[in-house]
A and B are shown apart, each in its own frame.
Chain A
Amino acid sequence: MRYSEIARIGLLVVCATASTAAWAQADPPVFDDAPPPQKSQASGPAAETKFKLPVDVAGYFGVRYTNADDLSLHSSYLEYSASLFLSKTIGRWRFHSELNVTSSPEFASEGILLTPRQGNWSAKLDTLSLNYNLRDWLQVQAGFVFVPTYWREHRYQSTALPVDDPLIDETVFPSAFKGVAIHGDKYFKDGGFSYEVYGGVDQQSNFDRSKMTIERSRALGGKFVAHLPSRHFFEVLDIGFHRLRRAAQDGSIDQLYGVEFHLEKGRIGVLAEFAHASMDIVNGRPRPYPPGVLRPALIPNQSQAVCRRQF
């Protein structure tokens, strides 16, 4: 499949810069070892904010025009997408959500549809999660944790159109996940590590001509990322290992492993991923299919690398 992207326009509207300061001021931090500061103390000259929102708000609007050689009916593809991010932190609790409207029907299954689809248009809830920070290295997150649309479209442009499994994200392995995750980060003088263990339901979409069905399976997985010390030479020098096991309702099992390498130095970034997947395994063997029937997913090995240079 060969795509040549003719133009890509992304307009990022982060209207939260002012509001972030506003809510940070509006909610004095909670201190464990001292009584909450007096309001007159906590607020200072900087707290004289004119406009205050009760939540942190951010968003973006993007337009993408793609010219694809092998699109049979139309040689071009135009997509509009907009997201609204709402977040709020109170003490150790953090709420985060993403509402997305898109004209791209193939991604509509990854969220929870808020309204019936109108043609190619869909409005959906892409993320809705609640996080409790007991310690930085011990946090619990629950809810719908889907790969954010912004992340997919802006960070993984090479994989944005053919969203195949396995797709290793830096924060979430399944592309659409509902459940609970225990995660955390620990940093030392130089370097550290991050981990995540999660269990819940993974949501996959199956296309059969014009009909789309949602297939759900039990998912258990995790990741471990080592932030290697580099004495400030690299801003990011990470090696990570991912693991996911999915059990579908019909008894078939998917086993996915992944390794990632992430490096950033100045304006140059490299993200390399390797993944192995054993899909649709029944009784230890791939499920047999009649001749002529295409297997739904058979991806023995997949590797990809994205290099980015900012100008």
Chain B
Amino acid sequence: MKRFCFTLALVFFLALGSADGKREEKFVVIVNPSNHFDALSRSKLSYLFLRKVSRWPWGAEVDPIDLKAQEPARQQFTKEVLGTTEEQLAQYWIDQRVTRGVGPPVEARDVATAKALVAARPGAIAYIPASAVDGTVKVIQVQP
């Protein structure tokens, strides 16, 4: 019995350690350096990524860029900013596609690609892990 309890405790702590090791890095929202905004509210961000708003106030087309579904930053962004789940989001885009003919944002292959696209496109907006930020893109604050 002692042995069983020890094994159980070991498994528990190993699992805890593993979960701790996989702790997700916080994402940041990035835009092209020419973007006029320094901060955006969660609501505004969700409107941009759900394609409810198609243009920035100065006329440039909003070009949201998603990461792959398995990226931790995307899962975090979907939950915290869009306030939904991947399944609900998929349903939302199916509805948008059949009623309006509007599809989801472009999906970048990886974080580096997302950053490169944002650096190249004036209207682009994306989210990446904080550690991936460099001088080619501008970080904007996410307000509640």
Contacts and interface: CB of A to CB of B under 8 A. Distances in A.
A136 B61 CA distance: 11
Contacts of B26: none
B63 A56 contact: no
A30 B113 CA distance: 21
A98 interface: yes
Contacts of B42: 232
Contact of B43 (A30, A97, A151, A187): A187
Contact of B101 (A25, A45, A89, A150): A89
Contacts of A96: 100-101
Interface string B72-109: 00000000000111011000001101111111101111
A5 interface: no
B21 to A, nearest CB: 29
Contact of A25 (B61, B83, B85, B106): B106
A300 to B, nearest CB: 30
A44 B112 CA distance: 10
Given A98-B98, A232-B43, A310 B55 contact: no
Contacts of B41: 189-190
Give the contact-size bracket for chain B: 35 or more
B98 A187 contact: no
Interface stretch (B7-15, B116-124, B127-135): B116-124
B103 A24 contact: yes
B52 A185 contact: yes
Contact of A187 (B53, B101, B102, B104): B53
A37 B122 contact: yes
A11 interface: no
Given A32-B55, A33-B59, A189-B44, 14 more contacts: A31-B61, A32-B58, A33-B60, A33-B122, A45-B116, A46-B107, A85-B97, A87-B103, A135-B55, A136-B55, A187-B44, A187-B47, A187-B52, A235-B88
